[in-house]
Structure 1
Amino acid sequence: MTSTAERAEFWVGAAVLAVAVAFLGWSASGGKLFGTHFGATYDLRAAFPNVDGIDTGTDVRIGGVKVGRVSAVRLNPTTFQAEATLSVPSEFKLPIDTAALIQSNGLLGGAYIELQPGGATENLAPGDEIEDVQGAVSLISLMMKFVDSQSGPKKSDETSTEKGAQP
């Protein structure tokens, strides 16, 4: 015969396990709540020189609004460019001159791919490649360039030394 305390422990454990399974399902679906997803999608490809911060599941946005996700990222062994496969809802017919840019959410935030539709009358078909791309910009390399530009000799110091003046 089980005691009341053992039954309570069993039900608390079952509830914790159910919450853990629900959380696992929610995170596997990309953080979407049940029933909140786009209908049919199609894939587009984009080859970037650098996809730092982009991985499977990364947001694809148009005008700052999430419209899709990155479904795959791989390195092309021939071109050595990173190819991202973007899943976009079929309701969005993107022009062939659409641009794909890797953007940052901020200094410490993650990255996402911003699609900027162009004005062409022809649309991209499923499996087409977006030609106009801009890869990720490394914040560290930008800061290093700034530091290097600030640490060089000043123009006034060079001219006064050349004329033989004392520093």
Structure 2
Amino acid sequence: MLIAFNKPMNVLSQFTDEGKWPGLKRWIDVAGVYAAGRLDRDSEGLLILTDDGRMQARLTDPARRTPKTYLAQVEGRPQPSALEALRGGVTLKDGATRPAEVAAVDAPDWLWPRDPPVRMRKTVPDAWLRLTITEGRNRQVRRMCAHVGLPVLRLVRWQVGDWTLDGLAPGTWQAI
């Protein structure tokens, strides 16, 4: 079984609650499925769950290079040099990243409001990036963007492999 879940903000990518943060069991009442990969508590979007260990390994194995596409609202205006640095791969504390596909995009008009809302500063502009990476290090997109001077304000995973969030409201899931 494969499940696509639109993980809301401040939800953990595990079934058990931890402190004040809820786990997936509040939304998904299906026995024997586990997340294939993770989304940080403060990130939103597509989380794939499966009961198939081989599928879980295939989706998370760095050697497979499963593409994951994110929409990132960043603080500041992306300069061409920052986008080129991301496209070439940047060196983080845990080593060089693989090159990312990245483009500045318009704010998505289909995106739901975030709860809590993004903190905005009147004197600092923001912009949206669409990034596709083929690895999945801890907080990787956030760290890559910060490395080039574009701190992430909001991060939404749109796609994993061929699966997208299309048609999934926050906190809802469907079998795929």
Same fold (TM over 0.5): no
* Larger RCO (CA within 8 A; separation ≥ 6): 2
Q: TM-score, normalised by structure 2?
A: 0.29
